[in-house]
A = this chain, B = another copy of it.
């Protein structure tokens, strides 16, 4: 990896920062955040502005360019990568280290008095704007919105914004029609006494209209906004996608409908003007509901007194609770996914000893097996295929420069998943194709104990996921080991592999309570820098539990694993398991046999079936 030479680009950026064509007054600093206008986690190439200006293309980072300086804030996952990808024009600001200044403090320390700091108001979330604006103002500076994105003005070969065809999902996949979703949304709006709801997150637009797209890699979403009134529906979307007869039929664009279900289609770029018009026409007590993470530009379109901001939108919360059609779809998707992985691991077991399988080859092979399954659409994220020391890099993605060959001497960690039309998968297995060391087995077993502790946890209705995080760590902690990431995230249904509002992490507190129908991942790990990485991840469904006393009818919850891929028993030090844990493993494997075995049989995949049967032999503790 050689760094991107950015001298010329920075010179150009500094020129436009003073060019009256783009800025009302010169700005002494310009902020380039990572996101897009929808606060997406995964972004389209045309939105990779921070990577363009700096060379650093990790998933998280904020660049700030002043007349004299160029600085990049990123977190521990990316210190090495950012240092490699950026040239000497850039200063790396290592977030989380004690001596690293915040963006605000740094700006205050380098800017001349009374400076203007510019940012694209469509990219910066309103809450971040507020924080930064306040800090700058108190030091005598101003945060100013720069309408035209300054990176775009110098990015001559910037790719076009994608505008790919849409997929319509019928009731068998979604369980609820978009009309009924609108009805439910309006009833939530009425409950909170708001008259308008602005849908800004891409997965929320997709979910609401039962549509999917492929504008962003891995996430089946499309660029659009929606504004839902009590009697109107406006969908802001570009291109001739609305010409597709299937889409027109699905959205009933040509039918005679009650006016309140008539969708008005408008250009993507007209959202701001339309929202400003909504804002201008509000009667005194009328409120508009927005996510508090919506962009500053859209939030500002609504006068302050009329804003109703919440961290999680009613769509985000409704989307998280899967209905029967969705959970059944997720089950099917996970069975197909397990078939693909049984094939893969059976193949790896034979091929790895030959020394010809690299991380990239293994990742490609995993995709090949997945793509053979019905309704496969694409991967759900970049496959983490890592062996030996690469496994300790938590967000590793193999590239030719780092590509290692799998061997019988090293642990192999595969974290991968796919989008099927009926569901989204995300599974991690850690395998050894030779003989693991006692230490490797010990660590693996603690991780497994943590995985089971969460998966088998019983907890009262209304418990927030973050309260379960320590269960995943307890066995590791007892021996002085830990892992520095959360334990689980929400998973969409043929949607984003990471979604809110629930999760299992020591880092959040504002997560919504878990309820039956929610789907999260359970993925504790252990990482030994320079040696190996271990992670065991299942996607699990929140289901009612049966308990002796049932919390005085408050109700109990637990998890059901949707992922049904064998956990390598060779890696388990069975005597470190309790009897309960041992039974969990055997029952889990029994279910893999029954459910996935039947599908392998049906698909005539005999070799993979034999592998499955062997890998799911019961384990027993030596008494």
Interface residues of A (CB under 8 A from B): 138, 305, 457-460, 464, 467-471, 473-474, 477-482, 506, 509, 547-551, 554, 556
Q: Is the CB of A549 within 8 A of B458?
A: no
Known contacts A138-B305, A305-B138: A458-B477 contact under CB 8 Å: yes
Taking CB as reference atom, which chain B residue is nearest A304? B138
Known contacts A305-B138, A467-B506, A469-B467: A549-B479 contact under CB 8 Å: yes
Point out the residues of chain B lying under 8 angstroms from A479, CB to CB: 547-549
Point out the residues of chain B lying under 8 angstroms from A138, CB to CB: 305
Point out the residues of chain B lying under 8 angstroms from A464, CB to CB: 506
Q: Is the CB of A460 within 8 A of B474?
A: no
Known: A138-B305, A459-B470, A459-B477; 13 extra A-B contacts, CB below 8 A, are: A460-B480, A460-B482, A467-B470, A467-B506, A471-B474, A477-B556, A478-B547, A480-B547, A480-B548, A480-B549, A480-B550, A480-B556, A482-B551
Copies of this chain present in the complex amount to 2
Q: Is the CB of B458 within 8 A of A478?
A: yes
Q: Is the CB of B480 within 8 A of A551?
A: yes
Taking CB as reference atom, which chain B residue is nearest A509? B509
**For the complex, what is the distance from the CA of A117 to the CA of B402, rounded to whole Å?**
66
**For the complex, what is the distance from the CA of A193 to the CA of B115, rounded to whole Å?**
23
> Shortest Cβ distance from A438 into chain B, in angstroms?
13
Q: List 15 A-B contacts (CB under 8 A).
A: A457-B474, A458-B480, A460-B480, A460-B482, A464-B506, A467-B470, A467-B506, A468-B470, A470-B470, A479-B548, A480-B547, A480-B550, A480-B551, A482-B551, A509-B509
Residue among A138, A460, A470, A547 having the largest count of chain B Cβ atoms under 10 Å: A470
Point out the residues of chain B lying under 8 angstroms from A457, CB to CB: 474, 477
Point out the residues of chain B lying under 8 angstroms from A551, CB to CB: 480-482
Q: Is the CB of A549 within 8 A of B509?
A: no
Point out the residues of chain B lying under 8 angstroms from A554, CB to CB: 482
**For the complex, what is the distance from the CA of A460 to the CA of B305, rounded to whole Å?**
46
Q: Is the CB of B481 within 8 A of A549?
A: yes
**For the complex, what is the distance from the CA of A460 to the CA of B477, rounded to whole Å?**
7
Taking CB as reference atom, which chain B residue is nearest A464? B506
**For the complex, what is the distance from the CA of A506 to the CA of B467, rounded to whole Å?**
7
**For the complex, what is the distance from the CA of A471 to the CA of B475, rounded to whole Å?**
12
Residue among A469, A547, A548, A549 having the largest count of chain B Cβ atoms under 10 Å: A549
**For the complex, what is the distance from the CA of A469 to the CA of B471, rounded to whole Å?**
10
**For the complex, what is the distance from the CA of A399 to the CA of B570, rounded to whole Å?**
64
Point out the residues of chain B lying under 8 angstroms from A460, CB to CB: 477, 480, 482
Kindly list the 10 A-B residue pairs having the minimum CB-CB distance in the complex, ordered from nearest.
Answer: A480-B547, A509-B509, A480-B549, A480-B550, A479-B548, A467-B470, A480-B551, A459-B477, A458-B477, A458-B478
**For the complex, what is the distance from the CA of A547 to the CA of B476, rounded to whole Å?**
10
Point out the residues of chain B lying under 8 angstroms from A556, CB to CB: 477, 480
> Shortest Cβ distance from A357 into chain B, in angstroms?
31
Taking CB as reference atom, which chain B residue is nearest A285? B139
**For the complex, what is the distance from the CA of A254 to the CA of B372, rounded to whole Å?**
90
Point out the residues of chain B lying under 8 angstroms from A458, CB to CB: 477-478, 480
**For the complex, what is the distance from the CA of A550 to the CA of B471, rounded to whole Å?**
19
> Shortest Cβ distance from A333 into chain B, in angstroms?
30
Taking CB as reference atom, which chain B residue is nearest A529? B552
Residue among A458, A478, A509, A547 having the largest count of chain B Cβ atoms under 10 Å: A478
Taking CB as reference atom, which chain B residue is nearest A138? B305
Point out the residues of chain B lying under 8 angstroms from A305, CB to CB: 138
> Shortest Cβ distance from A137 into chain B, in angstroms?
10
**For the complex, what is the distance from the CA of A161 to the CA of B138, rounded to whole Å?**
40
Point out the residues of chain B lying under 8 angstroms from A473, CB to CB: 459
Taking CB as reference atom, which chain B residue is nearest A481? B549
Point out the residues of chain B lying under 8 angstroms from A468, CB to CB: 470
**For the complex, what is the distance from the CA of A460 to the CA of B506, rounded to whole Å?**
13
**For the complex, what is the distance from the CA of A449 to the CA of B473, rounded to whole Å?**
18
Q: Which of B459, B470, B548 contacts A471 (CB 8 A)?
A: B470
> Shortest Cβ distance from A98 into chain B, in angstroms?
11
**For the complex, what is the distance from the CA of A470 to the CA of B454, rounded to whole Å?**
12
**For the complex, what is the distance from the CA of A469 to the CA of B506, rounded to whole Å?**
12
**For the complex, what is the distance from the CA of A595 to the CA of B304, rounded to whole Å?**
64
Point out the residues of chain B lying under 8 angstroms from A481, CB to CB: 549, 551
Point out the residues of chain B lying under 8 angstroms from A550, CB to CB: 480
**For the complex, what is the distance from the CA of A177 to the CA of B480, rounded to whole Å?**
36
Point out the residues of chain B lying under 8 angstroms from A459, CB to CB: 470, 473, 477
**For the complex, what is the distance from the CA of A467 to the CA of B504, rounded to whole Å?**
12
> Shortest Cβ distance from A164 into chain B, in angstroms?
41
Taking CB as reference atom, which chain B residue is nearest A453? B474
> Shortest Cβ distance from A472 into chain B, in angstroms?
11
> Shortest Cβ distance from A278 into chain B, in angstroms?
20
> Shortest Cβ distance from A371 into chain B, in angstroms?
41
Residue among A457, A471, A474 having the largest count of chain B Cβ atoms under 10 Å: A474
Point out the residues of chain B lying under 8 angstroms from A548, CB to CB: 479-480
Taking CB as reference atom, which chain B residue is nearest A547? B480
> Shortest Cβ distance from A439 into chain B, in angstroms?
10
Point out the residues of chain B lying under 8 angstroms from A474, CB to CB: 457, 471
**For the complex, what is the distance from the CA of A464 to the CA of B505, rounded to whole Å?**
13
**For the complex, what is the distance from the CA of A548 to the CA of B471, rounded to whole Å?**
19
**For the complex, what is the distance from the CA of A474 to the CA of B477, rounded to whole Å?**
17
Point out the residues of chain B lying under 8 angstroms from A470, CB to CB: 459, 467-468, 470-471
**For the complex, what is the distance from the CA of A443 to the CA of B471, rounded to whole Å?**
21
**For the complex, what is the distance from the CA of A556 to the CA of B548, rounded to whole Å?**
36
Taking CB as reference atom, which chain B residue is nearest A578? B578
Taking CB as reference atom, which chain B residue is nearest A550? B480
**For the complex, what is the distance from the CA of A457 to the CA of B470, rounded to whole Å?**
11
Taking CB as reference atom, which chain B residue is nearest A442? B548
Taking CB as reference atom, which chain B residue is nearest A443? B549
